[in-house]
Amino acid sequence: MTTQNQNSLERKGENLTGAQALIRSLIEEGVDTIFGYPGGAIMPVYDALYDFLDQINHILTRHEQGAIHAAQGYARVSGNVGVCLATSGPGATNLITGIADAMVDSTPLVCFTGQVTSPLLGTDAFQESDIVGMSMPVTKWNYQITRAEEIPEVVAKAFFIARSGRPGPVLIDIAKDAQFQTTDFQYKKCSRIRSYLPEQPVDKEALVEAAHLIDNAKKPFLLVGQGVVLSGAEKELLQFVEKTNIPMASTLLGLSAVPSDHPLWKGMLGMHGNYGPNVLTNECDLLIAVGMRFDDRVTGDVKTYATQAKVIHIEIDPSEINKNIPVEVAICSDAKKALKMLNHLVKENHHDSWHDAFKPFAEQEYEQVIKNDLYPTKESLTMPEVVNKVADATNHQAVMATDVGQQQMFAARYFKFKNSRSCVTSGGLGTMGFGLPAAVGAAVGAPDKTVVAFLGDGGFQMTIQELATIRQENLNVKVIVLNNEFLGMVRQWQELFFDRRYSFTHMHNPDFIKIADGYGIPAQTVTTRDDLDRAIAEMIETDGPYFLEVRVEKEDNVFPMVPSGATVSDVKLTPNS
């Protein structure tokens, strides 16, 4: 027996405190980074962590919401489970927004919170909160530990649940006395839980039926969801569309699954997606949805969505199938497995005339929207031209993180992606304040990449304190605040649907440059087009963090736009269209 194997066996027999057992369990799961914020009820774990800093990196964020969004960003770019750590009471409750965001966006997280000692549970003790009860609707699983001996098994179960099937967040609440108690530490990874079936066997008859529909369709259209990325099915997807010659478009979270310059990729779906993909959804005869859940921002009015088409839905979560859109063929499976099998069944095909149908829509969108967005004649700078220039300056190799709002939609439309896992944004929950801390996690998860964070002046100020985390860790994050002095997306809706009654959307902002300087981050403001290229070049060439404020057109709007509740074929290219 080797010395290494002997040491491994010796470790399993050690008598450890619960806090030490937790850290050892994380090491056994391959965790290399924790995002967190210490406090009284989690202090024993932080004390134990102090002895393992050569094996686990801890990132001290400036707020617990920053910690969980950073864990999300880390998970999204690395493909690993994100881990965050918080204390009891307000520390735990500050995680709820991020947990809910991770749940709807299928991000694998394991969150650990401290809790008051077990004798005090239910007594309204200082900094006690029922975080298990509060988080139950927005977690895949949660559990409260009151005995140290529970820790290894519960942690193993938590990681298995978080990463298996449709990924999602798990929360483990640990009473403080359990952190002090001792236990005989033995760790065994979890690979099966009775009654929990994260994946179903692929229905081969359904695959055969799907292949028949695909081979005989005249106007097939494929929708790329984040499930392609989560399952690592990028290669299989390209093999499928290149063999069948089927045009495809992406959901917001499906962006970067395929290169934006792929000839079969027609753009983004949804409320602010591209013109052709939205309109032609209601003209295709076969809709193939892969790893997406038919969110209302994609479908618009479900009563009028693709009613002429037969629908094939490849989706790992059975609860999403037939939930919003009725399907002809349901393939409840991991996208990678299903596409790999489907590639052996479908025939080579061509759909030249169908591809040609997208061209006039693309040309019209370019003339009426894109040309004006990227090459504006107005004096003021615009968000799209800034996004486009930053993307070009990074040769489309950077990881893009965004907050939520107009800058998010402009970034999604114009950044253009070459590599998978390079789009980090909040989808289903639409969480303002997500972008800056998510960029922190993305930079830790992809240390060889530049991370560019496009933020609005509103969302930026919700988690502005994470500039300190970026500086302390010297992360290669380029923070770009597109400042229009408005809550831009809300203002757009007020302009279009509320007679320009701008009720509480104007922002009186601080001097962002002074704030960045206070955190020790190099910064500058750009107000004119003549200075933009130089400023972007300086930002990219600067090692480590950089802050760029660009003052942009105050009342710019994101188009195309599918009005809320409208059908996708009613997409507007201009306010008056």
Residues with catalytic function: 64, 126-127, 176, 489
Position 322, amino acid: N
Residue 430, number of CB atoms within 10 A of its CB:
16
Beta bridge partners of 15: 184
Q: Which burial class, exposed, middle or buried, applies to 500 when counting CB atoms under 10 A from its CB (0-12, 13-18, 19+)?
A: exposed
H-state helical runs in 142-225: 151-163, 176-180, 204-216
Q: Which burial class, exposed, middle or buried, applies to 443 when counting CB atoms under 10 A from its CB (0-12, 13-18, 19+)?
A: buried
Residue entry with tokens 């990874």? 189
What's the CA gap between 74 and 79, in Å, rounded? Answer: 8
What SS3 class is residue 43?
helix
Beta bridge partners of 286: 220, 310
What's the CA gap between 541 and 523, in Å, rounded? Answer: 13
Distances (CA, A) of 104 to 140, 251, 347, 474, 505: 11, 14, 35, 31, 27
Q: Are 98 and 465 in contact (CB under 8 A)?
A: no
What's the CA gap between 401 and 434, in Å, rounded? Answer: 9
Could you please report the per-residue DSSP string of 342-397? HTTTSPP---HHHHHHHHHHHHHHIIIIIHHHHS--SSSB-HHHHHHHHHHHTTT-
What SS3 class is residue 520?
coil
DSSP 200: P
The separation between CA 88 and the C-alpha centre of its own chain, rounded to angstroms, equals 26
What's the CA gap between 88 and 111, in Å, rounded? Answer: 12
What's the CA gap between 515 and 483, in Å, rounded? Answer: 15
Q: Are 253 and 105 in contact (CB under 8 A)?
A: yes
What is the side-by-side strand order in the sheet with 265-268? 265-268, 248-250, 220-224, 286-290, 310-315, 329-332
The backbone torsions φ and ψ at residue 121, rounded to the nearest 5 degrees and listed phi first, read: -60, 130
